[in-house]
Structure 1
Amino acid sequence: MRTTTLLAALAVSSSFTTIAAAAEPGDLLVRGRLIGVLPTEETSGVEPAFPDGSVEVENAYVPELDFTYFFTDRIAAELILATSPHDLEGTGDLEGLGKVADVWALPPTVTVQYHFPLANGIKPYVGAGLNYTLFYNEDASDSLTDAVGDTKIELDDSFGLALQVGVDMPINDTWMVNADVKYIQIDTTATLTTGALVNTVDVDLDPFVVGLGVGRTF
């Protein structure tokens, strides 16, 4: 009985050792996630025409692809690729218009990570890096153009910091489940041009990006 118990314990231990094997230099980890981009925005008034009106940036839920390259068994760099659509809802004096615009954000982000391999195969990590956000396909809504006339909207690109915490949970020695949270600094100025009138609004999106997905090591 004791021998059987010992053999079972050794088998379990061997299994965990295999699953928990540390990453090796040169390993590439590819993950696919479903992410929620959740802005924590602060905005100014729409100056000069609507100082008591502003915009609220709506959440977005999209797929994301990322690539993590290991320089050592614990230090890695991750490139995060995704693009997300966002509605801009009027607030204050603009609240009656509902959606005033929509825009797409393309925020490639690179972080340097430190991984903490645990004995049971679970691998938490932390990271910090840089983000560059490109805004495109900005469109004024029908409600805005009906109210003030044809309006062109442009958002300045953004450059900022990114912080990250996450965890990989093994399925086997190749596949894993991943949970990840990032905080990304995204600050922009939206310019609304209606004929000769130019209005601007400063928007600090600063979203939390919450993701859940699967990954594979190559």
Structure 2
Amino acid sequence: MKKLLVAMSALMMATALNGLSTTAEAADMPAGKPFYKAPAVEAWNPWMIRLRALGVVTRDSGYVDQVPGSGLATSDVVVPELDISYFFTRNIAAELILGVTKNHVTGTGALAGVDVGKSWLLPPTLTLQYHFTDFGAFKPYIGAGVNYTFFFSQSAGGGLVTDSHLKDAAAPVAQIGFDYMINNHWGFNVDVKKLWLRPEWNGTAGGLPVSGKVNLDPWLIGTGITYKF
């Protein structure tokens, strides 16, 4: 009987000590949060869009084959531009820019004062980028890719030039820029691209067929708003 009472007392003491240990561990946990639940982590989304004001600054170079000493200049413009980026990883992304602009070509040199013509441009540009992620809210990147420019709604300047046509052309692209993120979703962007775009040109001047090349080689300088999904 004595041995039975000793065994029961030992069991009750072990149970009491185990309960105290469990109570102490529970007291150390944050109120209302079970110890087994991991903290919430915001899901990562690979999509980003930007809306920018884009300055298109051209080289003002070109020539007409049949007119020695001739040159061709093109107008600079500022247009709205939308780009869409997809991040394959946190560092590697692809960016597609979309926008349209109007181009005005005039003669220089031996053709000074000649209105050659006007054209609308659709220049979709795709770049592959590397984004640096070690600078906090400041997120610089570099990129390279290809542009293909479509010319449409073309018209001659009238007077000497009665027909004007720029041919669609491809061009390599180099890029540098940065995003500065205000929070997880919103930020602002500065972006600079260089295109080596040199479309061929043909038309009619003084009743004769003429041809040449317009060396646009534009700088695309943009700034605007970033939204990261």
SS at match of 1:146: coil
Query: In the alignment, is the contact (CA less than 8 A) between 2:202 and 2:210 conserved in 1?
Result: yes
> Which residue is equivalent to 2:142?
126
Cα distance in 1, alignment partners of residues 167 and 143 from structure 2: 26
Aligned match for 1:215, one of 201, 217, 226: 226
**Structure with the greater relative contact order (CA < 8 A, sep ≥ 6): 1 or 2?**
1
* Distance apart, 1:196 and its partner CA: 5.9
* Distance apart, 1:191 and its partner CA: 0.3
> Which residue is equivalent to 1:47?
65
TM-score (norm 2): 0.77
TM-score (norm 1): 0.80
SS at match of 1:86: strand
Q: Deviations over 1:7-61 (max 9, x none)?
A: xxxxxxxxxxxxxx9x94x5100000000011124312x232x222221011111
Q: Which runs of 5+ in 2 are unaligned?
A: 1-40
Quick check: 1:69 aligned with 2:86? yes
Cα distance in 2, alignment partners of residues 89 and 118 from structure 1: 47
AA of the residue aligned to 1:147: L
Q: Deviations over 1:70-111 (max 9, x none)?
A: 0001100000111111111221122133x3311111110100
Q: Deviations over 1:175-201 (max 9, x none)?
A: 010000001121111101258621012
Residues 206 and 176 of structure 1: is their aligned pair in 2 closer, same or farther, counting only changes over 3 Å? Answer: same
SS at match of 1:110: strand
SS at match of 1:206: coil
> Which residue is equivalent to 2:54?
35
Query: In the alignment, is the contact (CA less than 8 A) between 1:37 and 1:59 conserved in 2?
Result: yes
* Distance apart, 1:154 and its partner CA: 1.0
Residues 102 and 164 of structure 1: is their aligned pair in 2 closer, same or farther, counting only changes over 3 Å? Answer: same
> Which residue is equivalent to 2:76?
59
Q: Aligned pair count? A: 189
Cα distance in 1, alignment partners of residues 184 and 128 from structure 2: 23
AA of the residue aligned to 1:168: D
Cα distance in 2, alignment partners of residues 100 and 193 from structure 1: 10
Residues 119 and 194 of structure 1: is their aligned pair in 2 closer, same or farther, counting only changes over 3 Å? Answer: closer
Aligned match for 2:187, one of 160, 173, 176: 176
Q: 4+ runs of 1 displaced by more than 4 Å?
A: none
SS at match of 1:176: strand
* Distance apart, 1:118 and its partner CA: 3.1
Query: In the alignment, is the contact (CA less than 8 A) between 1:41 and 1:207 conserved in 2?
Result: no
Query: In the alignment, is the contact (CA less than 8 A) between 2:124 and 2:147 conserved in 1?
Result: yes
**Identical aligned residues as a percent:** 39
Residues 43 and 194 of structure 1: is their aligned pair in 2 closer, same or farther, counting only changes over 3 Å? Answer: closer
RMSD: 2.1
Residues 133 and 47 of structure 1: is their aligned pair in 2 closer, same or farther, counting only changes over 3 Å? Answer: same
SS at match of 1:33: strand
SS at match of 1:96: coil
> Highest Rg: 1 or 2?
2
Cα distance in 2, alignment partners of residues 146 and 192 from structure 1: 13
